[in-house]
Amino acid sequence: MEPAGYGWRLLHGSPDMNPPLILASVSPRRRDILAQLGYVFAVVPSEVEEHEPEKTDDPRAMVTHNATLKSGWVAARHRGAAVLGADTTVFLDGEVFHKPADLAAARQMLRRLSGRTHTVFTAVVLRWGGRLTQTAAESRVTFATLDDALIERYFTRCNPLDKAGAYGIQDGGELIVDRYTGSLTNIIGLPAEETKQLLICAGLTPTL
């Protein structure tokens, strides 16, 4: 049996006249958030090379560019669908923290974030009917002071290799995060309220 929210509407559309909706991401966190908003959708990952500089003066522009690339690649192959693309990054001291290449890189990232406040940016881009709309969210996260033992303990709760900044606030975040401000779902990878408003403004209403 297919998981709820994935499959047949990609080919057939929906009886409520919404165009089929595609999430251009394999992220389980984004998938869960979009499903919790009440949408039925298919998952089609994009095959684009993201723009991931080590340093940038404008992380919001970087994630918007990447979300635009992702949604564009999928939309070109699924005409008639509404395609949602997103990109998230962690930003501190002019540097962007992408997904770490290995555990050594993940340890280094968490050491640098330790005891500091960083910013999480997510951009969301929606393409439908030849149109493009976008939104973005920004949250601030303050880490506790982390020693090596705590980092290793955290890695038993979370796989850091598939997450920007080498952490997921929803996976044992209480071990490493002291506090945050702004949208929690933005930190997780898809700002729920902003995404819902983007979809509703495009005429895409929840169906579950």
Instruction: Please report, for residues 26, 27, 128, 158, the alpha-carbon distance to residue 34 in angstroms, rounded to integers and kept in the order given.
Output: 12, 11, 17, 22
Q: Which of 58, 87, 102, 171 is catalytic?
A: 87
Judge whether 87 counts as a catalytic residue. Answer: yes
188 and 170 Cβ atoms separated by less than 8 Å: yes
Strands 82-92, 21-23: pairing kind: parallel
Residue 174's Cβ-count burial label (10 Å; 0-12, 13-18, 19+) is exposed
Residues comprising the chain, all counted? 208
- The tally of CA atoms less than 13 A away on the side-chain side of residue 151 is 19
- What's the CA gap between 31 and 150, in Å, rounded? 29
- What's the CA gap between 175 and 22, in Å, rounded? 34
The catalytic residue positions are 87
